Amino acid sequence: MGLVLDFSVVLDRWQALLDGATLTLQLAFIAVVCGAAIGVFGAIGRRSGNALVERLWGAYVEAIRNTPLLVQIFLVYFGLSSLGLQFSAFTVAAVALTINVGAYTTEIMRAGFDSIHKGQIEAAEGLGLSKAQIYWHVIIWPGIERVYPALTSQFVLLMLASSVTSQISAEELTAVANYIQSETYRSFETYIVVALIYVALSFIMRFGFWLLGLALFPRRRRLGTPL
């Protein structure tokens, strides 16, 4: 058969694609913000010195990191509904993605917090800072600063992984693509366009995180290198 690519029918639906991409970014945003919060608490828990707390956070991290996101999404989706709770697909998707990225963030942040030299903490103690102050000024921010590139790539991977939530019919970009290809029978063109949108989104996200890094870590900006 003759190979004729026709992108126009796909591009005509740019409005739907734009809506899907927006939803993808919304999902990623919610999961990144909540996941980062989980990560900070998780990393603190993982190095709390309390064996039970460390075990529990460790179990959470290992359980999430060694099972596929797709299965996690199904478990959250059917788990919540078997408890009699009905949520929209978007909520379920956001919850599942948050739980997922929280585990990875915990592990990355723990590595960052562990990399803070003991002398720094002792110096802070010597200056009479409270425990909370030490955590905030000496461990959390400098720790995050060191692992910021790893966090950034993890968050971009999360945005890409959010495509999996199309399987519980959250109306994000991949779900929109499935809909368009079933309507137009132009599956090759549809998925090419969507793949390019994802590539663009990941570039936008990386650029955004780079800017955010400049704003969050002025020291790094001045020195031009991570600490």
Partner 1 sequence: MGGALNINHLLFLGHGALWTIGLSAIALIGGGSFGFLVALGRVSPSRAVRLLAATYVQIIQGTPLLVIMFLSFFGLAALGLNISPLLAAGASMTIFVAAYLGEIWRGCIEAVPKQQWEAAEGLALSRSQRMIKVILPQAIRIATPPTVGFMVQIVKNTSLASVVGFVELTRSGQIINNSLFEPFIIYSIIALVYFSLCYPLSRLSRRLERTALHKKPALA
- Provide the binding-site residues for partner 1, judged by CB under 8 A: 1, 3, 62-63, 65-72, 74-75, 77-79, 82, 160-161, 163-164, 166-167, 174, 177-178, 181, 185-188, 191-192, 194-195, 198-203
| Nearest CB to partner 1, comparing residues 30 and 158 | 158
Instruction: Give 50 or 67: the residue with its C-beta nearer to partner 1.
Output: 67
Residues contacting residue 159 through CB under 8 Å, at least 6 positions apart: 24, 25, 27, 28, 201, 202, 205
Question: Tokens 């099972």 appear where?
Answer: 67
Rounded Cα distance, 81 and 189, in Å: 36
Q: At CA 97, angle to CA 92 and CA 169, rounded to 5?
A: 45
Shortest reach from residue 76's CB to partner 1, in Å: 10
From the CB of 105, what's the least distance to partner 1, in Å?
17
Among 41, 173, 154, smallest CA distance to 101 is for 154
Please say which residue, 129 or 167, places its beta carbon nearer to partner 1: 167
CB closer to partner 1, 91 vs 187: 187
In whole angstroms, the minimum distance from the beta carbon of 216 to partner 1 comes to: 24
| Other Cβ atoms closer than 10 A to 167 | 17
Cβ of residue 122: shortest distance to partner 1, in angstroms?
A: 25
Residue found under tokens 């910021």: 148
